[in-house]
RNA sequence: GGCGGCAUAGCCAAGUAGUAAGGCAGCGGUCUGCAAAAUCGCAAUACCCGGGUGCGAAUCCCGGUGCCGCCUCCA
């Protein structure tokens, strides 16, 4: 297995800390609004990674955080996103967080994103964060300002490495005011005590307040995966600040590098700009559904690009993905009825190609190409095991092909009757009547295919 | 201003030195009563532009152009 490590900017051979086991921490959502398909592209990526390791025989332990402590917004310093959401909807921050957390996992399930083995809420780990901050402070990496307890980034020699930052040349405060009390512009808060209006406050050795964002990931990843673990995933936007700070905290607390491979997913772009909560150009899973797209079609779209490449989302590209998915299901419908070949060894090369594609830094587009090459080959050489093989591949792809095939709703009585009548007309060679009946069937949303075994009806998308 | 990334057919997108995967859409042949499905074939004349290094470059180097992201919470 090869994986691209942001730390070295190179594809590296993956070696687990413990043989046969992989520990993955996935940066989870902030639950104050519906997650959008850009977010979900990222979680499809981490899901594919997990599935690939499982496919290759590793035992995976995946942890994901739920950020239910809000963070400062741009326009109104001191207001917390969760509290904004709460005010907007007349609810408590906790109600808001639970509501959107539930929505997140429901949408994730629609996309066949496997639930991490452990999901952990920030608000339920405040004591772990405080304990970790104490270690950071005891090791001399922190100091106080009016804001609260601040991390001294200059104490960590490797601070700039992950993000390849050139701190002296960055425009500090280009977009936000600098706290004049900080020693370095890159220093960041660990615990904030100067926001008394915040609803969410906890007692701490540094006063009543709340944790800054980065510490939750350090605290919870270490708690559930240990002071050394294999992989940390997230979006590329987290490289320069969030993960850079997290890495610094990890080192400050433990004296060692906790994460071995930092892996980041690229954005889903919408035409030319990214999709973001701040950009106001969000598309949610339910919106796609109401436009007649299946969640699995969106997942398929995600599979057509490498996780490290930006993926352009347009209605056309989604439609194309949905058509491809339907084509694959059509194949499955037919292939699952084929007899088994006495010798299926011809499938071997395809299986090996698939495996090496996904093992090569999750090259899923390549793996999909293998699937289609196999489909074409199989159409000339029918063997039921082809479909079984593709279902096996689906352990990685996660399209839920088996399920999608099974849920095809039964053909309505009327459509079946019309199809029968059409068959009778065809026997009489009354083509005009046959075509008229086919027209009716089309109007009812079904397509008809004449096969040697009789007509086949399928829902028209 | 700094840092990072991207630029391959109508669309989405692999390939990253050895002569352009795959999907969608399109066109033509076979099949079909006609269709559909399947199948065969067509479709980039070399992959943003200009230099350079190679026997050889989409693939490496240099210089441009365009676009995007991060530097503020964001996947």
Distance set, CA A179 to CA A20, A193, A430 (Å): 47, 14, 85
Structural domain ending residue among the three candidates A406, A425, A441 = A406
**Same domain, residue pair A63 and A176:** yes
Sign of the dihedral defined by the CA atoms of residues A188, A191, A193, A197, in that order: positive
Does the annotation place A120 within a ligand binding site? Answer: no
**Same domain, residue pair A184 and A309:** no
Structural domain ending residue among the three candidates A233, A265, A297 = A265
Pairing of strands A10-13, A2-5: antiparallel
**Same domain, residue pair A58 and A206:** yes
In the predicted structure, residue A404 carries a pLDDT above the cut 70:
yes
ipTM of the complex: 0.93
- Nucleotide showing the shortest C1' distance to residue A70 CA: B73
**Same domain, residue pair A233 and A375:** no
In the predicted structure, residue A109 carries a pLDDT above the cut 80:
yes
**Tens digits of residue pLDDT in A67-97:** 988 654 333 344 556 566 666 667 778 888 8
**Same domain, residue pair A206 and A147:** yes
**Tens digits of residue pLDDT in A349-370:** 999 999 999 999 999 999 999 9
**Tens digits of residue pLDDT in A142-151:** 999 888 999 9
Q: B35 C1' – A436 CA distance, angstroms? A: 13
Does the annotation place A217 within a ligand binding site? Answer: yes
Query: What percent of chain A has pLDDT above 70?
Result: 89
Q: What is the mean pLDDT of residues A438-442?
A: 89
Structural domain ending residue among the three candidates A221, A243, A265 = A265
- Confidence grade of residue A32 (pLDDT, cut at 50, 70, 90): confident
Tell me which residue range forms the domain holding A197.
2-265
Strand B nucleotides, any atom under 7 Å to a protein CB: 1-7, 10-15, 21-25, 32-40, 67-75
Does the annotation place A27 within a ligand binding site? Answer: yes
- Nucleotide showing the shortest C1' distance to residue A239 CA: B70
**Same domain, residue pair A228 and A85:** yes
- Nucleotide showing the shortest C1' distance to residue A27 CA: B75
The domain tally of chain A equals 3
Q: Which residue has the higher pLDDT, A421 or A87?
A: A421
Per CA to C1' distance, which residue is closest to B22?
A369
- Nucleotide showing the shortest C1' distance to residue A372 CA: B22
What local confidence, expressed as pLDDT, does residue A122 receive? Answer: 93
Q: B11 C1' – A51 CA distance, angstroms? A: 29
Per CA to C1' distance, which residue is closest to B69?
A237
Per CA to C1' distance, which residue is closest to B24?
A320
**Same domain, residue pair A348 and A382:** yes
């Amino acid at each position: 297995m090869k994986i691209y490590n942001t730390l070295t900017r190179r594809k590296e051979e993956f070696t687990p800390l413990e043989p046969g086991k992989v520990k993955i921490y996935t940066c989870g959502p902030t639950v104050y609004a519906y997650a959008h398909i850009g977010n979900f592209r990222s979680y499809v990526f981490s899901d594919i990674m997990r599935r690939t390791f499982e496919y290759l025989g590793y035992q995976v332990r995946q942890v994901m955080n739920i950020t239910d402590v809000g963070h400062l917004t741009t326009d109104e310093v001191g207001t917390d996103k969760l509290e904004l959401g709460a005010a907007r909807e007349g609810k408590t921050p906790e109600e808001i967080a639970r509501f959107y957390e539930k929505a997140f996992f429901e949408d994730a399930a629609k996309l066949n994103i496997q639930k991490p083995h452990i999901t952990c809420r920030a608000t339920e780990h405040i004591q772990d964060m405080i304990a970790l901050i104490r270690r950071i402070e005891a090791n001399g990496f922190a100091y106080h300002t009016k804001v609260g307890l601040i991390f001294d980034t200059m104490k960590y020699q490797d601070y700039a490495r992950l993000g390849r930052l050139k701190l002296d040349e960055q425009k500090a405060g280009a977009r936000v005011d600098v706290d004049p009390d900080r020693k370095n512009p890159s220093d960041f808060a660990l615990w904030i005590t100067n926001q008394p209006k915040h609803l969410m406050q906890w007692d701490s050795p540094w006063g009543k307040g709340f944790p800054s964002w980065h510490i939750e990931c350090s605290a919870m990843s270490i708690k559930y995966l240990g002071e050394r673990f294999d992989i940390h995933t997230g979006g590329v936007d987290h490289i320069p600040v969030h993960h850079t700070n997290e890495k610094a905290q990890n080192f400050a607390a433990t004296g060692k590098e906790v994460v071995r491979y930092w892996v980041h997913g690229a954005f889903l772009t919408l035409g030319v700009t990214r999709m973001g909560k701040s950009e106001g150009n969000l598309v949610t899973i339910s919106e796609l559904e109401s436009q007649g797209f299946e969640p699995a079609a969106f997942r398929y779209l995600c599979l057509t690009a490498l996780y490290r490449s930006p993926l352009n989302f347009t209605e056309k590209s989604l439609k194309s993905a949905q058509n491809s998915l339907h084509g694959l299901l059509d194949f499955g419908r037919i292939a699952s009825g084929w007899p088994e070949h006495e010798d299926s060894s011809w499938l071997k090369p395809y299986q090996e190609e698939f495996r090496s594609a996904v093992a090569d830094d999750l090259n899923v587009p390549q793996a999909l190409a293998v699937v289609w090459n196999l489909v074409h080959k199989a159409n000339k050489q029918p063997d039921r095991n082809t479909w079984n093989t593709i279902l096996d591949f689906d352990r990685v792809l996660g399209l839920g092909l088996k399920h999608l095939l099974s849920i095809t709703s039964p053909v309505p009585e009327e459509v079946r009757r019309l199809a029968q009548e059409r068959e009778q007309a065809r026997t009489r060679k009354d083509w005009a009547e046959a075509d008229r009946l086919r027209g009716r069937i089309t109007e009812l949303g079904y397509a008809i295919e004449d096969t040697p075994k009789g007509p086949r009806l399928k829902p028209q998308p």
